[in-house]
Amino acid sequence: MGMFLTFIFDLNNSLLNIAWILVMIAVASYESVIIQGLRFKKVYIPTIATFAFANLAMLVYLNLFVIDLNNALDARLIPYRDFFW
């Protein structure tokens, strides 16, 4: 997993970053539906929508207002000193 994330950080491609976010949302939604034993067809789409809204809202808030990135889809590593100072 670390090698894959290093690859994503090195490429720093907005489309690849969006795809990675969508994959993480889809997998988290799938796992939460399966673990709860719910009917997959009935609740999967609402679960994806809920996970997407919550995660994208936090992503936008943190990247634009807290960290103050110029590009919210930038995959750069945040230096420790820039985050805490």
Mean pLDDT of 67-84: 61
Q: Given its phi and psi angles, is residue 78 left (phi above 0), alpha (psi -120 to 50 degrees) or beta?
A: beta
Q: What is Dmax (Cα atoms) for the chain?
A: 47
Q: Which residues span the domain enclosing 20? A: 2-84
pTM for this model (two decimals)? 0.71
Structurally, how many domains does the chain consist of? Answer: 1
Query: Which pLDDT score, from 0 to 100, does residue 80 have?
Result: 45
